[in-house]
Structure formats: C-alpha cells, structure tokens
Structure 1
Amino acid sequence: MRDHDLNTLEWPKILERLAAFTAFPWSAEKARALRPSTDPAEVQARLAETEEARRLLALEPGLDLGGIRDLRPLLTAARHGASLPPGDLLAVRDTLRAARRIRRLLLRRAEGLPHLASHAGRMQEFPDLEAEIERCLDEAGEVKDEASPILRTLRAEIRRLTHEIQARLQSYLTDPRYAPYLQEPLITMRGGRFVIPVRAEHKGKIPGLVHDSSASGATLFIEPLPVVEMGNRLRALQAQEEKEVARILASLSAAIGAQAEGIRLTLEALADLDLALAKARYAIAIQAERPEIVPWPEEPPEQRTASPLWLRQARHPLLDPQRVVPIDVTPDPSTFMLILTGPNTGGKTVTLKTVGLLALMAQSGLHIPAAEGSRLPVFDGIYADIGDEQSIEQNLSTFSAHLLNILSFLESATARSLVLLDELGAGTDPMEGAALARAILEHFHARRTTTLVATHFPELKLWAQTTPGAINASMEFDPETLAPTYRLRIGLPGRSNAFLIARRLGIPEDLIARAQQYVSPQALRLEALLAEAERLREEAARAHREAEQARAAARALEEEWRARLARIEAERERMLQEAQAQIAALLQEAREEIERIRRQLRAVHQAEVEAARRRLEALQAHIRETLARAAPPVEAPTEPAFAVGDRVWVRPLQMEGEILSLEGEEADVQVGRWRLRMALADLERRERPRPAPSPPAPTAVVRPPQVPLDLDLRGMRVEEALPVLEKFLDEAFLAGMPFVRIIHGKGTGALRRAVRERLKTHPHVERMEPTPDDGATVVRFAR
C-alpha cells in the first residue's frame, strides 16, 4: 500500500485512535506503524487475533498492562555497563513480574486463545532476577541492609556512632554551663555534620569547628571539638556505605545487562499482545464487527453468484457513531463498478472514504464499523484520488494534479485492486472532462478493477446504465427540506434538482420556465424518466418495507409461539422428571420401610414365638398336674404304640396335631405353627374310631378352627373393621392362642385409634403393645 493513498484516506488518524488504547510506548509505536497486509492468510490470522483479544477482555475484565514500562533504553544502558538507579531497577522488576503473570494467564487459556498464546510462547520468565531485585531494594527504592553483609555491618556501625554523637551533643544542650551560649536547644546538620546553634557573640565559649552561620549572622552552627573525631569516623563510614550501595546497584544492573536480549524479546511479545488488546478495545469503542474475508472468485463477474464487496450498515470510523448515517454498499454479484452521483455535500466523498478505510482496517486486522455479515476480499492494492491535489510548488492545477495521481496507478491496478475516484474529470472543460473520465473508466472496466467513482457528469450515468458490470448509484436528497439524507441508493443515478431547488427558493416561475426551454428535450425526458424511476423505486421500497415488516411480525409471532411451546414442553418435561423422581424416591422409601419392617417382624416373631413356646410348655405342665390330681387312674390303652406321622388330638390344648418324633413317653407334635413336646398320655390317635368316654356332664366338646397369628385390617373402614376384629379375637381366644397381632397401618390414624379403643374394653384382652413402627398392635389374652 502506498503512503499517498493511506494519507488520502486518513489512515494515520485511525492509527492515532488505535494507539490511544495501548498501554506503553512500544505498543503505541507498533500501532502507528501498522500497515494493511495483502496476504489472505495473514489477514485472517490478524482478525482472529483481534477476536481472541475481545474474548479475553470478556473473560478477564480486569486485565491491564498498565504496570509495564518500555525498558528498551534501560536495557541498552545496562548492556553497555551503566549502573541503573533504584527506580529503574524497580521498573524492570515490575515489568518482569507483570510479564510472568500475563504469560501464565495466556498459557492457561491456550486452547481457546491460540493466537494470543503464541505471544506467551515468546515470553521468558526471570524469577532469579526478580527475586534478587526484590531482596536488595524496598518499595521506596532504598537499598536494604540485607543486600550484603558488608552493608549490614556498615549501617549498624553508622547507627551506633550516630547515636553516640547525638548523645554527646545532647549533653551540651542539657548542661547549665552552656545554656546561656546556645541560640536554641536543638541538634541539626550542616554539610553532613551534626552541629548545635551557638550565639555569635559566644563563639569562643564552646570550642569547635564552625560549619555554617545563619543569614543574619547571629547564629553559628558549631561542631564541638570532642565530637569532631566521631564525626570524621561517621563520614568515613558513610562514604564506605555509599560505595557499597553503588556496588550493589552496579551488580543488579550487570545482571540485567546479561539478560537484556531475553528481556527485550519478552517486552516485544508484550507489545504485540498489547497491540492486539488495543485493537479489541478500539473495536468495542466503535461498535465494530469482524468482517468475513472472502476469496476472489475465479469466474468472470457476469457469472458470479455473490459480490466479494458487500457492506451493510457501514459507518465512517472517524465520524460520531451516534450521528453518522450508515450506508449499504451491496451491489449485485455481477457488479464491480459503482458510478455515484448526487448533490455536493451529499456524502459521496464520505462514501468513497468509508469503503476505502473499512478495506484498510480489515486487512490490518481491525474489526470494521459495519453490521455482522459484511464481507470483503483482500485487495492487492487500494488506490485513491480524492480531494484537492493542487500543488503550488510544482505549478500544477487541480486537474493536472488529479491526472498525475491517476497516472501513477493506472497500470498498477489489477482485477484484485480497489480504485476510488472522486470528481473524475473535474477541473477542465466539461465535455472534454467527461470524455476523458469515460476513457479512464473503460480502462479499469477492461481490467475488471473494483472501482467506485463520484461524478457530476450525466454522460457517465448513461455509460453506467448501458455497460455490464457497472451500475449507477446516488446519494438521497430530500425535496421537502432541500437537504441530503446521506443514504446511498444503488440502481438509480442522482438527479440535478436545480429547477426544484430554484422553485423552492422563490425564483419566479417565468424564469424557471425560460430556463427549461434552454435544456435539450433529451435531458428533460431523462429527468422525467429519473423522476418516474425514483417514484417507482420509492413505491417498491415502501412495499418491500411493508412486506419485511409483515414477515418480521410473522417471524416474531412464530418465535413467540415456538418459545411458548418450548416453555410448555420444558415445563411438562420438568414436571414429568419431578414426578418420576418422586415416584422413585417413594418406591425406594417403601422398599426400605418394607425391609425394615421385615427385620423388625423377624426379630419380634422370634422373640414372641419363643415366649409363647415357654408359656405353652408351662401351661402344659400345669394342665398335666391338674389332670393328674383330679382324674382317676386310667388304664393304659391296649392299642398299638403311636407312630411318626399319626394325626393325634392334643387334649390339654383341645387341638389336632401331627407326631413328628417319638422319644420314650413323650412325642414332638406339630400343632398349628408350634412344635411342642407332649406326653403320650395327653395324646389321642384319630385314625380309628373309639367309643366316646362317659362325660361327667352333658356338655359337648367343640374343636376350635385354625386361627392365624395376624389380622390385617388395612384398607377397611372403621365400621367394617370392628366386627372382623371382634370375631378374630373370639376365635383366637377359644383356640388358646396366647397372643395375636392386629395390623391396622398408620395412615390417618383413625383405624388405629378405633382398634385400640376397642381392645382397651375387650374382656379377653389382658394388655396390648404397639409395634416399633406403630403400624400394628400385639394383643395378649387374659388366661
């Protein structure tokens, strides 16, 4: 890119605004030296780097390179053996510390920010140098006592000797003999020596060296003789201290000089990173977007399906973004030449500069002030002939200067160049200027050069209308306000509007009519056609806007309903998931409760069965004793002995059972759920009929039915459950069961309360006990 064209398009002003966002001088220099690239790969890399920088600023809002200093002069001095002052040494430490922090930050985010991380790869860390400067200097730039053992010893001796001198001088101030001779009781310093103020008229009263006097001469500052020798030793120690401090500073400076090249490379990487961040901040400030960089089409323009230059809502980057009117440079795919006409101060020149500057910005890695989706190719050259090129020094007129400038790139422009021509052919005879302008346009047309031209020649309007690849465009003019609107209209040439303006300004109608007689009929017809075309265009534009609004409303309504359906579906899915989760939780809770109840029941059943067995055995023994005392001797039966498997009648229990085993005069009998040890005398085999014994009273013995241990009332209403409970209690009591369990569940508690209220008053119930989970009640019968 030529400097002349960059200056014509005001590129240096863009760079100055970019430099204002940098953090230190080296990056500002790089910003001012920034030039567009003609390599598509490099342009894409630059734009991607700016995009990453914007992303980094969003991820790290507090990121700041303000603590970094431009160390190049210091590094040069240190490399040549100069001793750096403490302030410069601290600047080196702070810069190295900031570089280390930035480097590690970028390396942590290297996966998402590869272009920025490449700068971190060029940086080095200097922990030993940082630590040494930190060890030797405090934040105020003073060399610490710990910087060297010699310095520590010297300063300790200086402090001791200083204290001794001050104590000796203090004795003068407090001694009544010397009080009349002192101007005031204080210790001060003159020429680096500790002194006391003595009145001039008493000069000889305190022997010593006079180091200074007051402006009036009334006071002499005297170092008493006994203190002079101590002062000399103090000065000698201070000189040694200064020498040691100088040695330490020189040593630190030499360490920096030894690593100057590595520090310089790190600083340069920081400058490149700072430039990328400045591009990002500038893009945010001007509300810019990353443009799409498209390759140049291989097919000729008439066969293209997309225009490589397509800018929507483009704004001039140097104008106030709140006031500038955006333009749409969106030609059809076959167009590569734009002939722009319209009134002066209507925005033609701003349009040319906007296109040129946005192309320069994109090829420099800057995001452009245009809407998302704008696209640009990479131009191999951007040539501009804009403004007044008149040169008094070279004795050139405006026309000649323009021609010389155009001549400088006439042969350089290619099919991949951008040419911007303002007022082409102006400054000479209109007929000849128009002819020359047309010839220049035909030259660039033959080369297929992307060209934007601002002109007033009507001949160029006609040429654009009839030439493939070229198209007319104009800056809109409001006939009501007689002012330009600065909107670009592609497809229609600009109108003169001279007669309209004259009529609005009050020129007499007869003068306007006479002037129109002097215009050729062809020109009048052309103006009429332009007016009709503009009217039709406005109607089409209005219809298009209405259609777009209707489509937008339909899209908005569709999106609203889609959003509603999405919300409904999301809510349904959420509720379904919640319900499934609740069901799963309830099932899990139920499984855990069932398992817990099973464990409790196993424990309860085992304990209760064992207790019942002991009570039954005790009851059996009691019955046997009672029968033995009350009944007459019974002759031994003559029937055959009992056998395993015999069905027998257990007299004490009045229940039927089955013999499981025999052992002497006893047998193990299965009675219901219980296995009992019974005497054979208490058993009666049921296989053969036996004559009934003579009863002592006319009463019949009825065998009770088999009664289960548990009664489950769950699912019943109170009025249904109580009769079932009564029947079950009677049957269990008659069956001789020691206890039963009533399962009523927990639920609302109504059934549980009703059951327990009935059990409290039942005649067969001795006591009742709730199970641990309170879902059942164990009933023990009175015997």
Structure 2
Amino acid sequence: MKEQLIEHVSSSLGKKKIEELTPLVNIDEIQHAQNSTFEGAKVLRLKGQAPLGGIRNITASVKRAQIGGMLNEGELLEVASTIYGGRRFKKFIEDMIEDEVELPILQQLVNLITPLTDVEREIKMCIDDNGHMLDSASPTLRTIRHQIKSHEASIRSKLESIIRSSSNQKMLSDSIITIRNERYVIPVKQEYRSNFGGLIHDQSASGATLFIEPQAVVSINNQLREVRMKEKQEVEKILHELSAKVSEVSEELLENVKTLAEIDFIFAKALYSKAIKASQPKLNDEGFIKMKKARHPLIPHEEIVPIDVELGKTYSSIIITGPNTGGKTVTLKTTGLLTLMMQSGLHVPCEEGSEMAVFQSIFADIGDEQSIEQNLSTFSSHMTNIIDIIDKVDHESLVLFDELGAGTDPTEGAALAISILDDVYQRGARIIATTHYSELKAYAYNRPGAINASVEFDVETLSPTYRLLIGVPGRSNAFAISERLGLNKEIIDKAKEQISTETNKVENMISSLETSQKAAEKELEEAQKVRDNAEALRKELEDQFSAFEMEKEKLLEEAEKKAHDAVETAKEEAEFIIEELRELQKEANVVKEHQLIDAKKRLEEQQPKLKEKKKKPSVKKVSKELMPGDEVRVLSFGQKGHIVEKISDKEFQVQIGIMKMKVQIDDLELLDRPKQIEKKPMATVRGSNHHVKPELDLRGERFEDAMLRVEKYLDDALLAGYSQVSIIHGKGTGALRKGVLQLLKSHPQIKNSKMAAMNEGGFGNTIVQFK
C-alpha cells in the first residue's frame, strides 16, 4: 500500500514521510490526520491540483552551510527552488482562504512557511536555471569573463590562420582546433612535429597524430589559464557569500522543509484517496465498526466485490464459516487493512457514512500456514502465533483469526477454536474469525456477543460471489457442486445418508436463511426504487404548483392592469363630459351643481373593484400553539391546508392538497382545530431546521453544483415570498460570478440583478430582485 501512496508524492520529502508512516493510536491525532487528508482532497476538488513543484530535500545542504561549508551552484539552485515552491504554495492557499474556503490545517501549516524572497532573489541573480554562474554575479566576474573571451578569440584567430595556411595543410591530420589539458591545440602529423614548435599535450592512439600547442599561442594560453584561475577564485568567493546567506536563514529553511514535507504528504494522501475512490470515516474509540461497501485497496477495482461489515455493538465477534476460496480471508484482510489505513490518516475505500473504531493494537493470524515458520508444522506455527496474541490482547484490540484451529484433528481443532474465541471474547476484544469447521456454526447461536457470517457461493456457476452474508452461517456445497458436475445421483444420495439428521437440519436451515436474506435484499432494493420515484414525483409536483401559482399571479396582474387602464380612460372621458355640462350650465343655467356631483358619483360607482396585489404578510403571532391536524392558511399563498408535523419551534410541514411544504410560523394563520387533537407540545424533529434564507452562499462550490443550487434556491425564494435575495459567489477567478449572472439573465422571474455595495460584499455578492 505504501508503494501505491508513494506514487502520488511530489518530492523526496513526501516519500520519506510515507516510508516512515506508522498507524497512530490517539483518536484526536487520528482525527487531525483524517481532517488534513480531507482538506487536501477539498483543494483538489476545487482547484484540480496543488502547486508543489520545485520542492527539494535541502536539509543536508542547509546543515552544511550552517557549519561554514560552501554549497555548489546546483545545491544553491535547489535552495532557491525550494524557497520559491514554498512561497508559491503559501500564496495559493492564502488566495483560497481569501475566497472564504475553510482550510484551517493547511492555513496553520502555510503560516509556518517563511518566504525568504531576498535569499531566493540573490541566488537567482547569480546562478541561472542550468546551474551556471552568471557573468552578472559580480562586477569582477564580468571583467574576468570578458578577458577570457578576449584571450580565447585571440588564440582562435592565430590558430585559424595556421590551419588555413596552404603550406601547413599537408602537415595537419585535420584542419580543426581542439582542447587538451584546458589549452587550445591543433592535430599535427608525427613527422612534422618540429615545424610548429611549442608544446605537445597529447597524441592519438596510433601515435600518428600529435596535439601540439604552437609556440605562437603558448603565451596567450598561459594568460588564459591565469585568468581562468581568477575566474574560479571569484566563483568560489560568490558561492561562499551565497552559502553564508543560506546559513543566516538556515533555521527558517529547515522549518520550511519540515512544513513542506508535511504538506506533500497530505496531498499524496488526498491524491491516493481520489485514486481509490475513498471517503473519510467517522471515528470512535468504542470498538464500533460499520463499513459500507468496503473494498480491498490492493485488489483491482473492476474485480473486487464490496462488502458490508458491522461489528462492536450488538455483537463483538463475527464467525465466518464456509468452504475455502470463497473470500473469507479477503474479508479479514479488508477489515484489518482499512483499520490500519484509517489510523494512519488515510481515507478508506468505503461509502460515505462509514464508521471506524480506533484500536490500541491489531493482531492477526493470517496467511499461508506453511510459510509462517519453516521449522514448525502447520498447527504449531499457528498456535505459536496465537499464544503470543492471547498474551497481549485486551479490550482495545482487534483480533483477526484465519482458519482458526486448522492443521490438526477436526474434533480437537474445533474444540480448541471455541475455547480460544471464548477467552479472547472475555477480554473484551473485537474478533473476526474464519473457519471451515461445521462445529463453529453453532458457536454464534450460543453466544450473545457473536454472530455467524458466510461468503455467498453460486452453485449455478460453481464459483463464489464474494458477497458477505452477516447472520447466515456458511454451508457445505459439496453435494450440489458434485451433482452439477455430473456425479451419479445414487452416489450422492448414499453420501447424504451418511450425514446425521441434525446436520441435515442445520444445512436446510442455512439454505432457508440464505433464500430469505436474498428475498429481503431484493424487496429492500425495490422499496428504495419506489421511494426514489415518489420523491421525484413530489419534487415535480412542487415545481409545477410553484410555476402554476406564478403564472396565475402574472395573469391576474395583467388582467387588473387592463381593467385599470380601461377605467382610467372612462374616468377621463366622464370628467370631460361633466366639464362640458358645467360650461352649458354657465351658459343656460339649467343644470344644478348638486346634479353634477350626483352624476360624477354615479360614474365613480361604475368603476369595477380591482383586487389589491397581495403583499407579503407582516409578522403575525398565532394565539395558540400549533399542532398536527390544525387547519391553517398559508398567508404567502392564500391557500388552506393542515399541519402534518412540527419541524422546529418556528417551522412546520404543511400539506396543501397533494403537496407538502415547509412553512415558517409567521406565514401561518390558525383556522380551526379538530377536537380530538391532544393539547400538548410537539417534539421538535431533530435535524429538520432547514428554511429558505435571504442569501445563498456558493463559496467553495464546484461550478456545476453551484449552478444547480442557484436554480433551486431561486424557486425556493420565490415560494417563500422574497422580493429580494443575495447570492454570494466570492471574487475568485470570476467564473462563478459570470455563471450566476448568465443564469439570472435567462430566469423569467428576475426583475433586476446588481453588484452589492462595498460594505455588503461588493464584487463578491450579487443582489437579485424578483418581479
């Protein structure tokens, strides 16, 4: 397993942490380690990766600098790279925290990282990415290297004139300039060695060619050698200075390395968790295990059959019986390995909601009997191991026995196995044991703290299904398998006669249990499907009802507006007519003023009474405490219904027609109460205090999940009667805000959306107004 985990580290720092990894026994330390893995997985889920490149294990180099040693260019470059890697990761986490992603453990770790940008900058100013000292490292070095180039150019110029000379061509083995002993030379044929003078530095394997430094360049080569000595001295001086700067911050560097090792380890755990599709289990120190769909992490995902294992509450011992090659040992190994993984801070390959116990010790007697001790028999090997386990086991132990009592006489072996199980059980340990002894099938029936189990075998395909059946002991399939393979039925019938009546009864009972369990599982699966369909139908009806109410309100508003416009037109025309009548009165003095007033009053009475637009009800206290069965009116809908249950002191579940919904107490009006209702307070439904808030917080959400939440929230907010809500998406990259604005733009019930004021979140918060 460690080999799989090491594949996900980013540096030798993380690799070393994994190699030194051992399970923890303190539940608080284990919980912290589990939480750190969860935070790493959270970062990967939100960002896809963590920038941990460039980090090196520079501990040895830093400690050598501490005692005055000189670091070379490569070592200094690794120091700078590690400083940069730590600084980059620190900013990465701080940016996520600024976007209000909760990462308390990683935040605490990055707070320990010292940026040390000055040391990083000075190293990078002197050494390039290939580990070469730059000319700009010091003015002196720049001058020296300029002199080197000048001398090299002069030497090359003179040597090129020699090899280009037509008179010299026949004396040379090749018209090239090369280097021997850090000096420029030319290849000269042996017989012409005296024609060039100078120094011989090398010869070819055959001796036919000599590599000669002509006398014309000896002096300049000497000067070049002297300048190169100065270059070496200057480079060493710069390396000493840089090493001294590393020494000055050595404590901070060592702390950075220690912190980055822990961070690399955390993300290796997170990446491994993602690779094996693991989840974080709930922890307890009470010996209770409940693993849902547990998978052995070392068996390929497409081959493994998940198992459900529960141990430590109603029973503390599981006795798995049945034939070999059925998967009994895999169950033991899965339970033990996942417990060790959990206590090492790793997530486990189980479904969400699994619970694991923290043990002080885990004992196992598992494996190939012949390889336990080469100098002992099968039985002696097992018994030596079991004796050691019994000497150490206590109530905080998990004990795994594979084929307990095997390797000796079946009768004695079964009796010894029962006695060992009783002894370990009385010490309070949690036990999972496998056996093929039929005598142990009755063990769990006579022990209140034990339960039988088996691994299912498909007689039709003559192969195990590897499904663990808790509560059903294993049964022999020898007769069924033999019959399927074609053994004469008479032979099988005679064999059955040799089996005692009691054994046949037990086998028949086990067969019945298997059949009943399969039927129960099938019915449970069908019931789950029916419940899921009902839930989907309920949600669909709620959505349709909500859409219907909104459409009805919209049509009423449009009708009222048309009616209002028509009435206003009629009133204007009536005023005009009355004004004409007044003019006629002045002229003819026929119509009296009180007649005009009466006429106007009659016109106003003809104006249709318009339905006032429903306003959000004000807070209204109910006079009585509401109870199930009370008839109520939901004020925001204007609909009647009755209370189904009380969710909290301020929230109730109300049924209106075929639809159930959660309603705040301030949105309810008591209409009637049936006499049979007992007048006593209702118990609050634990964990059901959810309600629609005037704001939705999306920070830390994945883009697709966030968009789904926004759509549902807008529907809920409309149903709750809000005229305005806030959607908090944070600043981040801006992708979440852009997605929210596009969704709001296409929503039919949105009147307006705008950025919040600076004191309300500014760019990270959008205010939404409904029509």
Mapped pair 1:105 → 2:85: no
2:305 is paired with a residue whose SS is coil
Q: Distance in 2 between matches of 1:498 and 1:171?
A: 98
In structure 2, the CA distance between the partners of 1:453 and 1:562, relative to structure 1 (3 Å rule), is: farther
TM-score, length basis structure 1: 0.66
2:8 aligned partner, one-letter code: F
Residue from 478, 496, 508 that aligns with 2:488: 508
State the Cα distance separating 1:76 from its structure 2 match: 4.1
1:385 aligned residue: 365
* Residue in 2 that maps onto 1:398: 378
Q: Alpha carbons of 1:165 and 1:316: their partners in 2 closer, same or farther (altered >3 Å)?
A: closer
In 2, distance between residues paired with 1:207 and 1:531?
106
Partner of 1:459: 439
- What's the secondary structure of 1:310's corresponding residue? strand
**Greater CA drift, 52-61 or 540-549:** 540-549
The aligned amino acid for 1:41 is D
Matched ranges for 1:88-99 at <5 A: 88-99=75-86
Structure-2 change in CA distance of 1:294 and 1:179 (3 Å): closer
Q: Does 1:498 align with 2:478?
A: yes
Query: What residue number does 2:13 align with?
Result: 26
* Structure 1 residue aligned with 2:73: 86
Q: Does 1:278 align with 2:253?
A: no
Q: What is the CA-CA distance between 1:364 and the residue it aligns to?
A: 1.3
1:238-637 equivalences under 5 Å are 238-296=228-286, 308-330=288-310, 333-390=313-370, 395-565=375-545
CA distance, structure 1, for counterparts of residue 179 and residue 408 of structure 2: 85
Q: TM-score, normalised by structure 2?
A: 0.67
Partner of 1:231: 221
- For 2:170 and 2:498, how far apart are their aligned partners in 1? 116
Separation (CA, whole Å) in 2 of partners of 1:494 and 1:144: 76
Partner Cα distance (1:165, 1:577) in 2: 100
Q: 1:72 aligned to 23, 45, 59, which one?
A: 59
Question: For 1:501, what is the secondary structure of its paired residue?
Answer: helix
Matching residue of 2:150: 160
SS at match of 2:292: strand
Tell me how far 1:327 sits from its aligned partner. Answer: 0.8
Whole-angstrom distance in 1 between the partners of 2:270 and 2:222: 63
TM-fit CA distance, 1:200: 5.8
What is the CA deviation profile of residues 209-246 of structure 1, one whole-angstrom value per residue up to 9, with x for unaligned ones? 45455667666655454543333222212222122222
Q: Give the Cα separation in 2 of the matches to 1:460 and 1:344.
A: 15
Structure exhibiting the larger radius of gyration computed from Cα positions: 1
Distance verdict in 2 for CA 1:370–1:560, change over 3 Å: farther
How far did 1:507 drift? 1.9
- Match in the other structure for 2:750: none
Distance (Å, rounded) in 1 between the aligned partners of 2:292 and 2:172: 88
Structure 1 stretches lacking a partner, 5+ long: 1-13, 298-307, 588-711, 732-783
Residue 486 of structure 1, CA deviation = 0.7
Tell whether the 8 Å contact from 2:43 to 2:49 is kept in structure 1 after alignment. no
CA contact (8 A) 2:65 2:71 kept: yes
CA distance, structure 1, for counterparts of residue 551 and residue 283 of structure 2: 43
Per the TM alignment, residue 56 of structure 1 is displaced from its structure 2 partner at its CA by 1.3
Cα drift, residue 384 of structure 1:
1.1
Counterpart contact for 1:109–1:117, Cα < 8 Å: no
Q: How far off is 1:548 after superposition?
A: 2.8
Give the match for residue 109 of structure 2: 119
Does the residue aligned with 2:298 lie in a helix, a strand or coil? coil
Structure 1 range deviating more: 480-489 or 398-407: 398-407
2:139 to 149, 152, 156: 149
**Conserved? CA contact 2:51–2:89, under 8 Å:** no
Is the 2:13–2:260 Cα contact (8 Å) retained in structure 1? no
1:710-735 CA-to-partner distances (Å, cap 9, x unmatched) read xx999779xx99xx9xx99xx9xxxx
Q: Offset at 1:86?
A: 1.6
1:614-641 deviation line (CA, Å, top 9, x unaligned): xxxxxxxxxxxxxxxxxxxxxxxxxxxx
Identity %: 42
> What secondary structure, in the 3-state scheme, does the structure 1 residue paired with 2:468 have?
strand
434 and 572 in structure 1: CA distance in 2 versus 1, 3 angstrom threshold: farther
Q: Is the 8 A contact 1:212 1:221 kept in 2?
A: yes
Deviates more, 1:462-471 or 1:179-188: 179-188
**1:52 equivalent in alignment to 2:54:** no
- Is 2:361–2:397's contact at 8 Å kept on the other side of the alignment? yes
SS of residue matched to 1:485: strand
In structure 2, distance between residues paired with 1:147 and 1:375: 60
Aligned length: 570
Structure 2 letter corresponding to 1:366: L
Deviation at 1:80, TM superposition (A): 4.7
1:35 maps onto 2:25 in alignment: no
> Offset at 1:516?
1.7
> 1:261-317 deviations in whole A, cap 9, x for unaligned?
4322211211111110011000000011111113428xxxxxxxxxx2111111111
| 2-structure distance, mates of 1:577, 1:201 | 117
Q: Deviations over 1:745-776 (max 9, x none)?
A: xxxxxxxxxxxxxxxxxxxxxxxxxxxxxxxx
